[in-house]
Amino acid sequence: MPRRRPGRPRRDDQRPTRELVLAAATALFAERGFDAVSVRDVAAAAGVDVATVAHHTGTKAQLYDACFARVFSAEREAVEAAGDRARAALAAGPADAVRALHDLVDVFVDFLEDRPETTALWLRRWLEPRRHTELDRRYAAPLYAQVEQLLVAASAAGALVEPAPHVTVRSLVWAVHGHVVALAAGAGSEARERREFRVFVHRLLDGLYPPAIP
Amino acid sequence: MPRRRPGRPRRDDQRPTRELVLAAATALFAERGFDAVSVRDVAAAAGVDVATVAHHTGTKAQLYDACFARVFSAEREAVEAAGDRARAALAAGPADAVRALHDLVDVFVDFLEDRPETTALWLRRWLEPRRHTELDRRYAAPLYAQVEQLLVAASAAGALVEPAPHVTVRSLVWAVHGHVVALAAGAGSEARERREFRVFVHRLLDGLYPPAIP
DNA sequence: CCATCAATCCAACGACTGATGGATAATCCC
DNA sequence: GGGATTATCCATCAGTCGTTGGATTGATGG
């Protein structure tokens, strides 16, 4: 390992240092949590010095927040893009709306399956008593509202009263998180688990909110 | 605050010290997690010295494990007691089996609503990459198997093929955890949230596995 | 070519961590 | 009563933590 001397190397030859640090920190925080990761760990994983981490991302808490903002923004963008497609289908009629709802949920499941660190960070964040209110407002609430709106629109003649849509959406999201955690634990065939979970989700939607057009 | 001198006070006048320490540690670990709680924090919360904590519960890791064993054993006992009642009803016929299934789920929801620290500890434990396999084997798997067995027995003529029962049970459990976290976040009326979540759960069961006798 | 600035590393500070050896006092058993 | 045991606290150790001041090197702009 060539010891790098102080000064100013590493520029333009690869990704900016800040991105290196954020990627390394995200992986570590997702795996071990805030308190079990030291800034020195992050620095070592990124191949830089602790002071360089501080220079680019400030304090440890700010680094943590930056990781969250990065991951959750990606999630929200993916869901909102699918939401736009769903809203377009909504105008076409209830049958298309039902299909759009299922597509939206599929996008969400696909996203979290491909990026398990998102689930890990979500769960860790929910466990922080101070943070999760702000988290709910900035990321969860808009996402939930989108699925909820689609749920109501897709229900038969909009006559949806119970179960309350927000409860259904929340439970669905948590079921996905549980699915991702189970996948990470690696019990059984992964492909089969993925398939069966999708069956569950779609049956759940159809069972709770029967399509208007059978 | 009367400074206690060394020696041997506190016996028989209240709960044993070990129980005091475990209760304090459980509350702290559930709220902040393993790494954010120091042994000194636990000692202060229990009103004893750090060395006393070590004397009764060993190292910090052993203390953590003791808290888990205590909480999860209580959970398993509650569910198994309800499981026994359910198995008794099972012999009476499919209609009673359906009711027994709903009762079992209600017991589970009640338990976690009353003891939110159980959910917090579960989630934290799932996030530990090394631990959750053993956790799954010792606590989760038997619990899941019990609900799963009841699910199959309660389904119409046992013709249950999909969605796979274990996926349903896992999703149900995670939905309950999400419900408890949302309750802790304190959004909206708590009584209403509890009621609506129960509606959701029972509709889910009826929708996915229609009772044999309508 | 020189002044300015950005990026990096080294070294260190004070605070806190988990753990433990040893002193002290109450209880138990004979 | 007196030794043995148990329970408690005090003091301290070595290690790690997050953070920062300052030195060093390269790029940039005139």
User: In the predicted model, is pLDDT for residue A8 greater than 70?
Assistant: no
Residue A211: what are its φ and ψ, rounded to 5°?
-60, 150
Check if residue A2 sits with its Cβ under 7 angstroms from strand D.
Answer: no
CA distances from B96 to A192, B118, B151, B213 (A): 33, 30, 12, 10
Q: Which of residues 56-85 of A touch strand C (CB under 7 A)?
A: 56
What is the nearest nucleotide to A9, using C1' and CA?
D26
Q: What pLDDT, on the 0 to 100 scale, is given for residue B90?
A: 74
Task: For residue A191, give both structure tokens.
Answer: 């492909």
CATH of the domain at A49: 1.10.10
What's the whole-number average pLDDT of chain A? 84
Percent of chain B with pLDDT over 90: 48
User: In the predicted model, is pLDDT for residue A176 greater than 70?
Assistant: yes
pLDDT per residue over B156-175, tens digit each?
545 556 688 889 999 999 99
What's the whole-number average pLDDT of chain B? 84
Q: What pLDDT, on the 0 to 100 scale, is given for residue A89?
A: 77
Give the pTM: 0.88
B23 and B75 together in one domain? no
- The residue ranges of chain B whose pLDDT is under 50 are 1-2, 12, 157, 213-214
Q: Please answer whether residues A29 and A64 qualify as being in contact, where contact means their C-beta atoms are separated by less than 8 angstroms.
A: yes
The bases of strand C with some atom under 7 A from any protein CB are: 6-12, 16-27
Q: Please answer whether residues A177 and A123 qualify as being in contact, where contact means their C-beta atoms are separated by less than 8 angstroms.
A: yes
Q: What pLDDT, on the 0 to 100 scale, is given for residue A12?
A: 47
pLDDT band at A214 (very low <50, low <70, confident <90, very high): very low
B94 and B182 together in one domain? yes
Which chain A residue shows the shortest CA-CA distance from B130? A185
Q: Is B214 among the domain residues?
A: no
Check if residue A39 sits with its Cβ under 7 angstroms from strand D.
Answer: yes
Domain end position, chosen among B15, B34, B58 = B58
Determine whether the interchain pair A196/B167 forms a contact, defined as Cβ–Cβ distance below 8 Å: yes
Q: What pLDDT, on the 0 to 100 scale, is given for residue B199?
A: 93
A138 CA, D27 C1': Å apart: 40
DSSP secondary structure letter of residue B136: I
Containing domain of residue B25, as a range?
1-58
d(CA B207, CA B63): 43
CATH of the domain at B99: 1.10.357
B86 and B183 together in one domain? yes
Residue B93: what are its φ and ψ, rounded to 5°?
135, 165
Residues paired with residue A155 on neighbouring β-strands, in sequence order: A211
Q: Which of residues 20-39 of B touch strand C (CB under 7 A)?
A: 37-39
A36-49 burial, b if ≥16 CB within 10 A, otherwise e? ebebebbbebbebe
Q: Is A213 among the domain residues?
A: no
pLDDT per residue over B88-127, tens digit each?
877 777 677 778 888 889 999 999 999 999 999 999 998 9
